Amino acid sequence: MNHPHTHGWPQKLTALLWRFWWLGPLIVCTLNLFIDIMEVDAAQYAEISMEMMQTGSYFQVYEQGYDYLDKPPLLFWLSSLSMTLFGINSFAYKFPSFLFAILAVYSTWRFALLWYDRKTAMLSALVLSTCQAMFLITNDVRTDTLLMGSAAFAFWRISAYLRHKTIKNLLLISLAVGTGMLAKGPVALVYVVLAFGFEFMAKKQWQNIFHTRWLIVAAGIALLLAPMCYGLYTQFDLHPDKIVYDLKGPSGLRFYFWTQSFGRITGENYWDNNAGYLYFFQSILWDFQPWILALIPAISIKIYRIATGRTLPEYITLGGFCLMFLALSLSSYKLPHYIFILFPAASVLTADFLLTAGQKLLRPISWLHLLTMAVLVILMIIGLQVFFPPENKLWAWFFTLLILSFFVSVIWLWVNQTTSNNRFILAAATTAVAFNLFMAVHFYPSLLRYQAPTQAGRYLLEHAISPDMVCKYEVRSTALDYCYRQVIPNLNPEDILPMAGKGLWIYTDELCRQDLLDKGLKPRREKIFNGYSVTLLSLPFLHPATRQAKLKKLYLLEI
């Protein structure tokens, strides 16, 4: 992207920062690959992938030996393959999703290049690569990174097909949509249909809606889904006597194609977390930082232009974002990462706005983001000085001065920019990278010391405890299994008693430890871990003065 054609050190440094911005997100996301896997979802998916690799059961999916019927298998397939290549570790589990994150950024750039100019395309990719969601889903890896990459790839390839009408693009569309459906279900197809359906109707391109060549795409998708469908049918539909998640004889195929996605709207899916209709309006305020201040007016202006009879270069991003956002808001079960599929489209909307809006509109947004940047800097300093201070106080003060120097430098560059859009982009991208670099290098490693299952698994591994001599008692943890690289059985007292005195190690909580003591089982050794659900942060936990009251003791007992 072009920087202002003016002279002086501020402009030279800004030009240098453009290179840093592209390198910065890549460095942070690479560091995220080596951070311990978090419970609950990411650790669960990592354990399933490990189990798949160890058992060789690729069509029928199991979790700790039990039937698994929730997410489609693409994440498990790719991560199990990665574990075969790189071993069982955080990097191996996260690496395939990291590649899909790169695919999402690249595809967003190529999509925007087809509909806008090169400057907008480059800024679209920068917005996506530096939004908070991108840093989150390359660390706490779930299925949404694969879904985002597949959806962005589909947007690019469908747009390319509309320009060039080649069979190659039709086949790549099948690959993109099919991959998205293997990642998270029919939501990938629904999103693409809503986005391009809105485009075709807005431009009255009825021939594109009823294009017979879409049948080639449908056939390609069906071919890609066939292995998964075979696995679902043989694991569930052929066994109506099974009880899975308290459901008697669930159809795996019906669950995948209907219940898991559309059942959340119709009420057939029993999962309900009572999230209100405005849930995603609240969550996106953080997840699309630091660009949310530009996204809101970007969408508003595009809707106003349509309402006043003006045309847009493309309606795909606006229609896809708004229609899918509303559809997801109707779901009875919501989590913040469900809308991350929309962020490539949101990035294009944001970039177009930042490069076309007038200075009068951009000036207050630019000033407001400077305030946001100050808040993030304060949070970094609090995290360093209060929440998780280094043992050496000199290091704490050194890094505090470094953060303050960074803030002052960015303000100096900000003041010396000639336009408000350059000011906003400079402050937003640089702060996003710096904040998440701090999170990857200091905050998350400090936080995950309190994920007891991971620490317990590492202890067992380092002390070479035999898998035959380890069990759980009345606790569930997939992070423990993955870190130990073995599925650890959950035994009852009747199974444990005969093994007393043989060096059995039991992972349990404080209440169950007391129960074992009451049964006369005296531990020869015990290792105590202070545990906390690290994905559910609270101020009492973060503050050292009140942290102890929020910790839960978990134990490794040698009987």
Structure token digits, residue 261: 């996605």
**Range from 262-266, 301-305, 364-368, 462-466 carrying the lowest mean pLDDT:** 262-266
Q: What is the pLDDT of residues 387-420, one digit of tens each?
A: 888 888 887 888 888 888 878 877 777 777 667 7
Residue 243 has a pLDDT of: 79
Inter-residue contact 279 to 334 (CB < 8 Å):
yes
Q: What is the mean pLDDT of residues 28-44?
A: 92
- pLDDT level of residue 6 (50, 70, 90 thresholds): very low
Q: What residue has token string 């949310």?
A: 292
- pLDDT level of residue 3 (50, 70, 90 thresholds): very low
Residue 189 has a pLDDT of: 93
**Range from 84-88, 147-151, 401-405 carrying the lowest mean pLDDT:** 401-405
Residue 474 CB burial class (10 angstroms; 0-12, 13-18, ≥19): middle
Q: What is the mean pLDDT of residues 104-128?
A: 94
pLDDT above 90 coverage of the chain, percent: 50
Residue 272 has a pLDDT of: 54
Q: What is the pLDDT of residues 154-195, one digit of tens each?
A: 999 999 999 998 999 999 999 999 999 999 989 999 999 999
Residue 280 has a pLDDT of: 87
**Range from 101-105, 499-503, 527-531 carrying the lowest mean pLDDT:** 499-503
Residue 1 has a pLDDT of: 46
Inter-residue contact 143 to 75 (CB < 8 Å):
yes
Q: What is the mean pLDDT of residues 103-126?
A: 94
**Is the preceding omega at residue 40 within 30 degrees of 0, hence cis?**
yes
Mean pLDDT rounded to a whole number for the chain: 87
Q: What is the mean pLDDT of residues 237-264?
A: 77
Q: What residue has token string 């959950």?
A: 490
DSSP assignment, residue 39?
A: T
pLDDT of 222 above 50? yes
Residue 266 has a pLDDT of: 54
Residue 5 has a pLDDT of: 43
Inter-residue contact 362 to 356 (CB < 8 Å):
no
pLDDT of 20 above 70? no
Q: Which of 143, 90, 45, 38 is nearest to 535 (CA)?
A: 38
